[in-house]
Amino acid sequence: MMFGSINSSGAVIDCIAEGSAYDIVLPNQTERVQNIAVDIGGSLAKVVYYTTAAVGRQGGGRLHFKAFETDHLDLCIEFMCGLVDRSRIRDPTDGPPAEPVIMATGGGAHRFGAELRSRLGVEIRVVDEMESLTAGLNFLMREVADEVFTYSEARGQKFVSPVSEAEDLFPYMLVNIGSGVSILKVTGEGQYERISGTSLGGGTFWGLLHELTGVTSFDAMLETTKSGDNTKVDMMVGDIYGTNYDKIGLKATNIAATMGGVYRKGLDKQYSDADIARSLLYMVSNNIGQIAYLNAQLHGIRRIYFGGYFIRGHPLTMHTLSYAIDFWSKGMISALFLRHEGYLGATGALLRGEAAPTRRRACSFTENFSVAEPAAGDSSGVSALGMLDQQADRLERLPQLALPYVPDTVDLAADEGQRLAWLAALERSAHELVALVERGALDAGSSDHVGTEDRVDAGRIRAFSILYARHLQRLGAQPLAYGALTVRGILGLREQCLREVGLGDVFAAVKRRETKAALVALPQCVAQTDVLAERERLLALLGNALAGNMFDWGASELHGALASGALDLAAARERISYSPQRLNNPGAFADRVIAEGYRKVLVFVDNSGADVVLGVLPLARVLTQTGATVVLAANSRPALNDVTEGELKDIVAEAALVDESLAAAVEEERLLVCASGSAGPCVDLRRLDPRLVALAQAADLVILVGMARAIVSNYHARFTCDSLRIAVFKNKMTADAASANVFDSLCLYVPGGGSRE
């Protein structure tokens, strides 16, 4: 495996830099194990387990995925022994942990049940295979952002937007291809029926190919198919008719009969093992595709998911299944595949347990790729799975979001120029982060009261840099390894890697320092705009918000100025060119505020320091003066120097101490701070903290502040209410994507329901 080094074989990554070795323990990899499930199939044994922090990380749990060859079940059992031990870790705040129960499914659950029981010394509870598969699929489809995809040779892998509503999810058909093929119809949670199947599946392919070619491993067989030419062993339509058979829509290149050419002396076909392998792969895939389609027709189902060991990410297999479904449905239905297809059963079995994490309360999961495993049995090695981090709340969609919604502005997998530029820029910025840490630039200044937690550990930051660089390299080589490739995804991954090496908030001290300085400047800043007439005041406030947005540690272009403290609001204003016109209409916004005002404004804020204190707060203050209630949505968890919910609450409280107008707004609960639900610099407006969604119900204006929230993501988002974007194009990639220049501004007001351009 090309990038096997990213996989966590243990809880340690070895980092060798500048001649010295660091052993960095990944703290989150040694947490207490709460639930264990195993799916023992004919070829692979898949383990899914759920961990929680030994000392209560709030609501946070994590699902892990791990696969073993069934032939080496010993390794799997050994691994599970370790998990059972970790399940007995005592939580000081809790009573003794409950005796572990292992949920088991798959054919091997019966066969190896007794062995598991005796060797692990715990209770093994067997869950029905079909029940596990469907429970797992329902869960993964809902919770994993890039779970479902279509595949064809011409178009490659295309991810399908996740569905959250039950009516969009059901009914569907799951075609599970193992030794044989099971076809399940799923009409709801826990409602499924095996409607059909065939015994002509992976086992047939395996048996025939083994006997015909002597190849003994499944992967070797699949490898062989890549170079094979089935037309050398198959009877093609062209072999019979010499041409297309147009009347019935058969092309000369269609297969008339699999293996029908091997005995035809007249055709004198010369063939190799690889040709037979490809022919048989086509036979089995085509046939399954056809039977699946016929079943879908009979049951009036339009969504067909394919899973099981036979597929294992093998492009040619997926292509053939897709081709068959496309052919028979005349392009009306696409075959759907799953990134976690190998883990459906184990995941479902885990969720069927009485102590399953999803049973306790509503929650959401986010895939965390900082420690990524190759997808179970993924023969092509291009797909990897992260861990699933649990949030204590069920994330929800912004009610004012117009559909369809795609959060990301650029698809980096499709746009090579943007991809290379972003990957290079992000790698550079990681190096710069290391340099900043080594210079002590991110530590608190000497005048501050400095706790040791404020000193960013240089060893850890180097470990981060190595871990993150490996991910960037992998994504450079295999852009779809972690699902759809977007700037939002990579920026999120960066935060995940930082947290994974134990660096929760590297900018904590910087943020405090800058916020403190900005709060000092706040009264004067407010006084300067308060003297202006209403329209000029609004325009000046928008200008300040843009200028504040220059105080961004995420922008490499500004590190020097930020670190030296040379950037003040006035200087920042100077660097922005307030163009192009098509992206800037602050006057229209001001007129709208003056004419009607807003009842409730939702602001997605960006950086701490000058940005939020001198840019956003004064604007929010004036809006509250016009009678609006303003909800400031800040990150739930740290990302770059973005202000977090907790920090912003403190900022608002401190600002209220020096400004009467703000104090009144806070007092009257017309200035509120709420967590956005986001843990990265970008925002996915389908996944917001439910408290924020509740507050947002009556909002008639949404303001998106900053490059990550307004340009890199949500640039194309449309809203049913008015919206305002405030950001500066601070690098070439974002400027290019919008046909703008670096340091151009985006101050764009869009009335509700309208499109941006």
220 touching other proteins, by CB under 8 A: no
Task: Return d(Cα 269, Cα 262) in angstroms, integer.
Answer: 7
**Under the criterion CB under 8 A, does residue 277 sit at the interface with other proteins?**
no
SS3 content of the chain, % helix, strand, coil (to 5): 45, 20, 35
Which of 19, 242, 404, 451 forms a contact with other proteins (CB under 8 A)? 242
Minimum distance from residue 136 beta carbon to other proteins (Å): 20
Segment interacting with other proteins (CB under 8 A) among 107-115, 426-434, 480-488, 669-677:
107-115
Residues 6+ apart with CB under 8 A from 243: 252
Could you say whether residue 114 binds other proteins (CB under 8 A)?
no
By beta-carbon proximity to other proteins, the closer residue of 43 and 87 is 43
In terms of Cα–Cα distance, which of 255, 427, 228, 242 is closest to 324? 255
| Nearer of residues 88 and 264 to other proteins, judged by Cβ | 264
The runs of H, that is alpha helices, within 122-247 are 129-143, 166-169, 202-213, 218-227, 237-241
Which one of residues 31, 39, 146, 234 is an interface residue with other proteins (CB under 8 A)? 234
CB of 432 to other proteins, least distance (A): 56
Report how far residue 613's alpha carbon sits from residue 525's, in angstroms, rounded to the nearest whole number: 10
Type of residue at 276: I
Secondary structure E strands in 516-658:
600-604, 629-634
92, 95, 96, 266: residue in contact with other proteins (rule CB under 8 A): 266
For other proteins, the binding residue among 18, 211, 669, 757 (CB under 8 A) is 211
Per-residue interface string for the shown chain with other proteins, residues 387-426, x marking contact by CB under 8 A? ----------------------------------------
CB of 298 to other proteins, least distance (A): 6
- The CB density around residue 295, as the number of other CB atoms within 10 Å, is 19
**Range in contact with other proteins (rule: CB under 8 A) among 253-261, 408-416, 565-573, 699-707:** 253-261
Position among 54, 208, 421, 738 found at the interface with other proteins (CB under 8 A):
208
* Helix 73-86 and helix 113-120, axial crossing angle in degrees, nearest 10: 40
Is 308 among the residues that bind other proteins (CB under 8 A)? no
Distance CA 117, CA 124 (A): 6
Query: Which uninterrupted H or E stretch holds 512?
Result: helix 508-530
Determine contact, residues 34/61, Cβ cutoff 8 Å: yes
Length of the chain: 757
Determine contact, residues 677/391, Cβ cutoff 8 Å. Answer: yes
Query: What secondary structure letter does DSSP report for 313?
Result: T
Which listed residue (235, 542, 710, 727) binds other proteins by CB under 8 A? 235
The one-letter amino acid code at 122 reads V
Of the candidates 107, 315, 476, 502, which one interacts with other proteins according to CB under 8 A? 107
Binding mask 11-50 for other proteins (x = CB under 8 A): -------------------------------x--------
**CA-to-CA distance for 128 and 387, rounded, in angstroms?**
25
Tokens, residue 33: 């194990």
Binding mask 502-541 for other proteins (x = CB under 8 A): ----------------------------------------
> Contact between 255 and other proteins (CB under 8 A)?
yes
Binding of residue 580 to other proteins (CB under 8 A): no
Q: Name which position in 298, 458, 571, 694 contacts other proteins (CB under 8 A).
A: 298
Taking CA atoms, 669 is separated from 261, 600, 644, 645, in Å, by: 80, 12, 20, 16
Indicate if the alpha-carbon torsion angle 40, 41, 45, 48 is positive or negative.
Answer: negative
Q: Residues 160, 212, 563, 695: which binds other proteins (CB under 8 A)?
A: 212
Query: How is residue 399 annotated by DSSP?
Result: T
Please tell me whether residue 317 binds other proteins under the rule CB under 8 A: no
Binding mask 481-500 for other proteins (x = CB under 8 A): --------------------
Question: Using CB under 8 A as the criterion, which residues of the chain lie in contact with other proteins when the complex forms?
Answer: 42, 107, 110-111, 179-180, 196, 198-204, 206-208, 210-212, 216, 233-235, 239-243, 245, 247-250, 254-266, 276, 282-283, 286-287, 290-291, 294-295, 297-298, 328
